[in-house]
Each structure stands twice: as structure tokens, then as C-alpha cells.
Amino acid sequence: MTFLEHLTPSDETGMIRDAADKWAAGISDADVRRSGGFAPGRWSEMAAMGWHGLLADPDHGGLGLGPDALSLLCQAIGRARLPEPFVASSVVCVGTLTALGQDVTALVDGSAIAAPAGFGLPCDGGPSGVTATAGAEGHNLSDMIDICESGPDTSEFLVATAGGDGLFRLPRSTPGLTITHYGAIDGRNLARLSFDGPVPADALIATGDAARAAIRRGTTLAVSALAADATGTIEKATELTTAYLDERSQFGKPLAAFQSLRHMVADLLVELEASRSMAELAAFAASDDGDPKHLHDRVRARICRAAQSVGQNAIQLHGGMGMTDEMAIGHYFRRLIFLQAMMGQEAGALRDRATTLARDIEMQREVAQ
């Protein structure tokens, strides 16, 4: 597929987008607040529409679609700022497991929820890994994973070992696994995982190159989904802000009549278009099995900056009202903070890209000499 073709959604992809937009538009801000970190009803509705299996093979009840459709769906999820672990379970875990030919039927039908640990979310994996040493009947796992997107409803974990040369699939009830729950800045559920002890032999589902390829696939899908989620969030934050400016008055005229505020709105739109472009690029670059890191680092960096800039300026444009929990905008702001952390922050993404650029420059220096 060329990029131009990619820009024109297929009929099937278009249907996903329309359904997602319609469904998400029916979810009110109050609904989302009420549900806390997870609404079982919404998870079931998503299952009914087949979305948990978007990336899964038809054999496992999946739709067999790709990053294009995923991107549109995640934009709708971002717009509605749904807190469910869709990216964690239905994108990273389903995508990774599908790449390994694993059974994902329970994840697809919504009866199970999985969480990636040590890879994918955050998309640079995070600061601690789990070490596995071969034991008598399987492996002994030890060490901690500080950030894992999982809540009380999570039924299984997909755990990457440090270095990425092993991938374990572990049920929640695995002995030696301690789960400490805490909340994310945007209200969703997170946990710290601690491993200590042996796990059954069949828990190790991939090793070596196969594990690394599957982890890379999960990470690629995560970047693409997070970019789309952030783009939807930015889009909605922009809309909330323009509506507020049109509605509220100060000094006897609508806020939207002040040129300085109008120009800040213009900058929101520029950031939004940059995000949309990067979300398109992220999805396109994720459309095969290659490693799009050289593009995805730029996507992460640019979208993190847009998220930062739009979040902060949307609050500023709301004035004092933007500081209140009552207004939706603060919730979108916090979601954008969460998404930046998951994408490694602009500084981290640029650092990753800079490492590659430094290598390029070094190679050119050698060629020139």
C-alpha cells in the first residue's frame, strides 16, 4: 500500500471509524467520570463490536484489520478519554500474541483482559525488567516492573524479561506474583508488579529473536495507538476550548473576540494538524513487520510536544475555570500528561532519535574521510 492509498480508508476501515465515532460520541463526560478506571459495560460493548479483536486473526474471532483501522478507533477513544486498558490489552497484548500465533479468543470476546509488562506501555519499556533464570520446572522470575497498565479486572500478564529475550504469559493467579495497584494521573488503573519464584514451563511463550520480534511488534502497535489516542485527545481539547471561548465573555465581549486568544487558538490548530499527520505516519509505518523506529521516534517526539503545548494552552485559554476539576478540560490535560509519560516524554523521544542522528553523522564523517 502506498501512503496515498493509506490516506484513503478502505470501506471496512471506514465502517470501523464511523461506528467508533458514533459510539464514542454517545458517551458523556459524566459517564466517564462515574466509571472510574474501568466500566465493564463499555468493555462488553467494545467486544460486541469486535474491537478487541481488531488486530486478531479471524480464527480467533478477530477482524484481521491493521494499524489504519486501529488508528481511527484509538482517536475516537482519545476523544472520549475512555480509561479502559484498550491499548494495553486489545492492541499491545492481542497484537503481540497474534504475532506469535497464541490463542487470544478470550481477550477478543472480552471475557479476559491482558496487560503488557516490561514492554509496549510505556513504549520504551520502562526502567526495570524482570530476570528469568532456568529452574527445575520452568523459570524463576524475579525483580519488579514499576508501571503496568492493569487493574483489578486484569486476568493475565504478558511479561518481557530484561533485554527482551523472553516473553512469559502469566495468569493473574501466578504464585510469586505480587500486584500493587495504584492510580494513573488520568484516573486509569496502574500497578507495580513484583516477581519472586518459579513459573510453569509453558508460561514461556517465546525466546530469542522470536521474542524480540514479538515485543517489537507490540511496541510498534503501541506507538501507533498512543499517537492516535493523543491526537483524539488533542482534537477534543481544542474543541472544548473553542466552544468555551465562543461562549464566555469578559470586558463586555466574548473571549473569542480577543485577538491574542484567537492567535493562541490558531496555534492549537497547527499542533492538531501536526498530530494528525504524525498519527497517519505512525499507522502507515506500523503496517508491516519492519522496524519503523526511525520514524516512530519522531512521531513520539512531535506528538508529545503537541500534547504538552495544547494541554497547557487549553488550560490557559480557559482561565480560572480551566483550573477546576469541574470542567472537562483539566481531565483532558491530565490524560495528555499520562500519554506523554507512556510515549517517553518529548525529551526522551528526542534523545532516542538523537542517538540515531549521531550515528548518521559519525558514518558520514567516515565516508567523507
Partner 1 sequence: MPEVRDHDHGAPAEERDHIDLLLDDDLRAFRRDVRAFLRGAVPEETRNRIDRGYAATKSEIADFLAKLSARGWTAPAWPVEYGGTGWTQLQRMVFSSELARNAVPGIPPFGVSMIGPVLYTFGTQAQKDTYLPGILSGKDFWCQGFSEPGSGSDLASLRTRAEDRGDHYLLNGQKIWTSKAHYADRIFLLARTDEAPRKQGGISMFVLDMDTPGITVKPIIAIDMNHSLNEVFFEDVKVPVDGLVGERGKGWNYAKFLLGNERTGITNVGRCRRQVERLKRLARADLTPGVDLSKDGAFLRDLARVEADLTALEITEIRILSQGKNGPSAMTGPSVLKLASAQIQQTLAELIVSTLGLYAAGRGAGFVDAFDDIGDLPSDFVDGALNEYLFGRSVSIYGGTNQIQRDILARSALETRP
CA distances from 311 to 74, 206, 214 (A): 19, 40, 33
Instruction: Name which of its own copies, partner 1, none residue 6 binds, using a CB cut-off of 5 to 8 Å depending on partner kind.
Output: partner 1
- Minimum Å gap between C-beta 48 and partner 1 is 26
> Cell numbers at residue 51, please?
474491537
Smallest distance from the beta carbon of 258 to its own copies, in angstroms?
A: 6
Q: What Å distances lie between residue 32 and 51, 82, 344, CA to CA?
A: 19, 7, 26
Binding test (CB under 8 A) with its own copies, winner from 131, 258, 287, 351: 258
| 274 in contact with its own copies (CB under 8 A) | no
Smallest distance from partner 1 to CB 234, Å = 13
Question: Minimum distance from CB of 262 to its own copies (Å)?
Answer: 8
Q: What is the 3-state secondary structure (H, E, C) of 107-143?
A: HHCCCCCEEEECCCCCCCCCCCCEEEEEECCEEEEEE
Residue 253 binding its own copies, by CB under 8 A: no
**Of 98 and 241, which has the nearer Cβ to its own copies?**
241
Q: Pick from 169, 159, 164: which is nearest to 194 by CA?
A: 159
Nearer to its own copies, 221 or 256 (CB): 256
Residue 36 binds which entry of partner 1, its own copies, none, CB below 5-8 Å type-dependent: none
Is it true that the peptide bond before 122 is cis, omega within 30 degrees of 0?
yes
Residues 109, 106: Cα–Cα separation, whole Å = 5
Question: Quick one: which segment of 49-57, 113-121, 259-267, 312-320 binds its own copies (CB under 8 A)?
Answer: 259-267
The cell numbers describing 38, all together, are: 474501568
Residue 334 lies near its own copies (rule: CB under 8 A):
no
Rounded to a whole number of angstroms, the minimum distance from the CB of residue 103 to partner 1 is: 28
CB neighbour class for 344 (10 Å; exposed up to 12, middle 13-18, buried from 19) = buried
3-state secondary structure of 77: helix
By CB under 8 A, which span of 45-53, 105-113, 157-165, 256-264 interacts with its own copies?
256-264
The binder of 22, among its own copies, partner 1, none, by C-beta within 5 to 8 A per type, is: none
Where on the chain is the footprint of its own copies (CB under 8 A)?
A: 258-260, 262-263
